[in-house]
Amino acid sequence: MSIAYFWSRSLLGNRGFLWLLLWCNLLGTVYGYYWYAEQMEYTVANNPFWQVIFVPDSPTASLFFTIAVYTLLYPPRTKFGYGFRLLIEALAVVTSVKYGIWAVSIIFAGYAQGSPLVWQDWMLVLSHSAMAIEALLYVRLFKLGETMLIPAVAWTFLNDTVDYTYGVFPWLPVQLMDDIASVQYFTFGLTLFSALLAWLVIRQARR
């Protein structure tokens, strides 16, 4: 068996593998919202309620990808459903790449400034790396086109804006709290990078 089989359409599109992927991402999403529970409670208690939706960035990206996998298993049959599928796929790709890279980068940036690496950090590094990789692999099976990246990028920039305007960005290692401006610039830049990477991968996949 060639190693290329592990990212081939025959494996990625296999229904059994898709179900496994869906459950892994669904469980990861649930755990992700649990991980953010304390910050979400804090936000609800201290900020306008609407801002809480912008707190759990990675779990929401994982949720988008979980729904996108579900639509591969059960493709929508209506125009509205098809449009919804394209939007979810675009959101899944852009946000999974963005927050996958973001989380890993922040963990190691904190470590570089003295934050200890514990087993939860390594778990997050592995799971968030997988988020970015799986999103890029599944572009070949998704139906989204380049145009759908526009609303996905708009949503992600909105999320960044709310995060750093109202202070509801994911809690950082204490060592990075004096580098908020740098983290903010990195976050906005990573949204643009993720959109560009998604665009390039879509163009390549359509050839």
The tally of domains found in the chain comes to 1
Q: Please tell me the distance from the alpha carbon of residue 162 to that of residue 168, in angstroms, as a whole number.
A: 7
Backbone angles phi, psi at 184, to 5 degrees: -60, -50
Chain-centroid distance of CA 160 in Å reads 13
Q: What is the pLDDT of residues 152-191, one digit of tens each?
A: 999 999 999 999 999 999 999 999 999 999 999 999 999 9
CB count, 10 Å around CB of 81? 13
CB-count exposure of residue 30 (10 Å: 0-12, 13-18, 19+): middle
pLDDT at 10: 83
Scanning the structure block, which residue is given the tokens 């992600």? 156
Q: Please tell me the distance from the alpha carbon of residue 36 to that of residue 122, in angstroms, as a whole number.
A: 17
Q: Is 167 left (phi over 0), alpha (psi -120 to 50) or beta?
A: left
Range of the domain at 120: 3-205
Q: Is 116 left (phi over 0), alpha (psi -120 to 50) or beta?
A: beta
CB count, 10 Å around CB of 51? 18
Q: What is the mean pLDDT of the chain?
A: 94
Helix ranges, 113-148 (H): 119-137
User: Is the Cβ–Cβ distance between 184 and 164 less than 8 Å?
Assistant: yes
pTM of the model: 0.94
Average pLDDT over residues 135-150: 92
pLDDT at 6: 67
